[in-house]
Amino acid sequence: MPFPLPSLRPPLNCLLRIGLGLVCCTVAPHFLSAQGAGGPAKLTFTKVLQGSVPEYLAITVASDASATYDGRKLSDPAAPRTFKLSAATTRRLFELAAGLDNFKSVELESHRKVADLGLKTFIYEAGGEKRQVQFNYTLRREAQELTDLFEKISGVQQHLTALEYSMKYDHLGLPRELSQIQIDLENKVLADPALMVPALEQIARNPKFLHLAQARAQNILQRLQNSN
């Protein structure tokens, strides 16, 4: 018999409003300087590495915090999904890009003999200008941190994709995916995990899902609420 779940709606709605719903209001003051005649400035990160998951990754973030994610096999068609980042994450992305002079005449490749870590590309677009730089491995701290942050954003989107699939087609796989989310939260490798709240709420509240899945989803929700 499913155990009764406590009501999480008020605090979690508050979490979403604080973490995501107010992004437009809070981001704009930090990025007024990034607004060009053509609209908000944009940062794009792509990574191509055959055999990895995903093989092709592309994330674009505008200075107003609107974003798109596309993660797939190289042979699959493009399937971007839209989402909204938090003000803090968006601000940090653009700060790191600014530390690299928004990729203007910057060399990031270390030219060291290292394994193929994937061809990575940073692109900055603003005011009709477009700058980009590519590398496999870099020693620049700002570039490493920028790459890590984009990877953390990707991690959340990958979990969301897996949760949505399992909720529709693989209920038995939900506990495993939720366990991995718990591990990633513990290791602090996810950026803006509050984006997962709506999917987690559906799992925690719907008795059609396994008791174990409901319990783990509830645990994650409480953890996200307490970390806010």
pLDDT given for residue 59 in this prediction: 98
pLDDT given for residue 6 in this prediction: 42
How confident is the model over 67-121, as pLDDT tens digits? 999 999 999 999 999 999 999 999 999 999 999 999 999 999 999 999 999 999 9
Strands 119-126 and 42-48: antiparallel
pTM > 0.85: yes or no: no
How confident is the model over 154-174, as pLDDT tens digits? 999 999 999 999 999 999 999
pLDDT given for residue 19 in this prediction: 44
pLDDT given for residue 31 in this prediction: 45
pLDDT given for residue 110 in this prediction: 95
pLDDT at 3 over 90: no
pLDDT given for residue 227 in this prediction: 86
